[in-house]
Amino acid sequence: MSKHFFGDTTVLLGRSLRHITRSPDTIITTAIMPIAMMLMFVYVFGGAINTGSGSSYVNYMLPGILLITVASGIAYTAYRLFMDMKGGIFERFQSMPTARSSVLWAHVLTSLAANLVSLVVVMLVALLMGFRSGAGVLAWLSVGGILILFTLALTWIAVIPGLSAKTMEGASAFSYPLIFLPFLSSAFVPTDTMPTVVRVFAENQPVTSIVNAIRNLFAEQPVGNDIWIALAWCIGILVVSYVFAMNTYRRKIS
Amino acid sequence: MTTQQAAAIQVHGLEKSYKELKVLRGVDFTVARGSIFALLGSNGAGKTTAVKILSTLLKADAGTVRVNGFDVATQATDVRESISLTGQFAAVDEILSGRENLVLVARLRHLRNPGKVADDLLAGFSLTDAGARKVSTYSGGMRRRLDIAMSLIGNPPVIFLDEPTTGLDPQARLEVWQAVKELAENGTTVLLTTQYLDEAEHLADRIAILHEGRIIVNGTLTELKQLLPPAKVEYVEKQPTLEDVFLTLVGAKG
């Protein structure tokens, strides 16, 4: 690792964060879709959905909405990386005596920061809509930790199309299936009403364990095995996507 | 050995293929310190590939390249300290201001006083008034000037300009030519690629023609002109222009 790695990453992080503060619309568009879904589910479908849990529907579906927020937010990560590749500034940085991987890490950390801001915005709207939790500090920290890991895992997935896409649409289209995934999980309805095939898929895909873990943390319920399965998924996806992203990156720079 | 150290760029037996396609098939040339060297060729001749290898963005399949005395394969960091690359598209950050772009590069080159470096270059390239404006509001010529100004930060002894005037209007092109001439007068070695024959004719001390992956001629403008039979006195006397030389040579070999 180059001796300038931390300094260079900080400089480049400052640059990308400035991009976000100068076009805050990316935060707003990231947050607006999950907020619209939340309004629709709570005030349109929610009344007809029997979750079997005692608490309000907004409490029930918020974890799924938070994951959708991250899944739509990382489309911008891929977009920002793609624009750097296309504009030639990526090559300029790579031809300078700068720590080479700093360019990538700055994008990853920016993605984390932007998604955390979007998550806070969505959370505030949920509070206005009646979301309540008596969770203690430790439970909130656990939720935060899971969301950070989930964001990092999805961010490294986003790096791959960001580096290799040929068009802007291609760079962000990968996020659509990720946004859709929570619908095939326990995020909006309990899985036991689903037909067997769908249910088996729903119960064994990463979103369900992550949603269940966050939901139970908020509801001060025991999290059981869900939190460990959730962590295993997040870390597993993180490691695999990191390896693939780094391979893509090395192919790009050699 | 002394002559080897005197040359700013030495390329020997350079080869590069993309899968089946042989882009460079054994390229040799040297560039003397403080001179302007033009690599001339049609689209797809391999100019950009050569520049990318010389600036450590691509790895060669075979051959040796030394820039400022350093081997691009084994001493890439030293090479990056010695060069700067201005790619085919102005590699500037559209969202930052002109001054912020310059400060960013100065920081990434780990210079002491980035603000002063930026202000000096803004003044030198007649961009002081526009310095605080977002680059997305700049004209093509201003953007190119900023791009070249960014390349000068840290006074690298060798500068690569890959098609610096492609897509510029005649006025902007003259501005870029002026900047390149001033660079060479101050002792910087400039390697530029171009498909415009008059550009090479105006700027370069030596011109090499890259055709189908090989250098087919390499000399001063006068030497190149002597390759064609001397002008005959007819009804109209016509000296061969560089364009005639180029097209004849390319046509003969191709």
For each of chain A's 254 residues, which pLDDT tens digit applies?
567 899 999 999 999 999 998 888 888 888 899 999 999 988 888 778 877 777 788 999 999 999 999 999 999 999 999 999 888 888 899 889 888 889 999 999 999 999 999 999 999 999 999 899 888 899 999 999 999 999 999 999 999 999 998 888 888 888 888 888 998 898 888 888 889 999 999 989 999 999 999 999 999 888 888 899 999 999 999 999 999 999 999 888 76
Instruction: Return the pLDDT at B4.
Output: 45
Is the separation of the CB atoms in B118 and B102 below 8 Å?
A: yes
B182 at A interface, C-beta within 8 A:
no
How remote is the C-alpha of B91 from its chain's centroid? 14
pLDDT bucket at B44, cuts 50 / 70 / 90: confident
* Phi, psi of B32, deg, nearest 5: -75, 150
Please give the full DSSP string across B71-102, using - where no structure is assigned.
Answer: ETTT-HHHHHHHEEEE-SS----SSSBHHHHH
pLDDT over 70 at B234, yes or no: no
Instruction: Tell me the per-residue pLDDT of B146-177, one tens digit each, with 9 for 90 and over.
Output: 998 998 898 899 999 988 888 777 777 888 88
> 3-state DSSP call for residue B209?
strand
Of the residues A2, A13, A92, the best mutation for testing chain B's interface (the one with the most B CB atoms within 10 Å of its CB) is: A92
pTM: 0.84
Check B77 against A15: CB less than 8 A apart. no
**Token pair in block for residue B113:** 């006083």
Q: What is the mean pLDDT of chain B?
A: 87
**Angstroms from B51 CA to nearest CA on chain A:** 11
Q: Do B87 and A88 touch (CB under 8 A)?
A: yes
Residues 61-90 of A with CB under 8 A from B: 87-89
B151/chain A closest Cα distance in angstroms: 9
| CA-wise closest residue to A62 among A122, A117, A116 | A122
DSSP per position, A87-141: HTHHHHHHTSSS-TTHHHHHHHHHHHHHHHHHHHHHHHHHHHTT------HHHHH
pLDDT of residue B140 exceeding 70, the answer is yes
- Does residue A224 come out as left (phi exceeding 0), alpha (psi in the -120 to 50 range) or beta? left
Chain A 88-147, CB below 8 Å of chain B: which residues? 88-89, 91-98
Contacting residues of A for B108, CB less than 8 Å apart: 8, 11-12, 93, 96, 98
| CA dihedral sign of residues B62, B63, B68, B69 | positive
Rounded distance, CA A219 to CA A221, Å? 5
**B45 in contact with A at a CB cutoff of 8 Å?**
no
d(CA B2, CA A59): 77
Q: Is the pLDDT of residue B254 over 60?
A: no
pLDDT of residue B28: 93
**Listed range (B116-125, B126-135, B217-226) with the worst mean pLDDT:** B217-226
**In angstroms, how far is CA B24 from the centroid of its own chain?**
18
Structure tokens at A132: 């309540």
Between B253 and B234, where is the model more confident?
B234
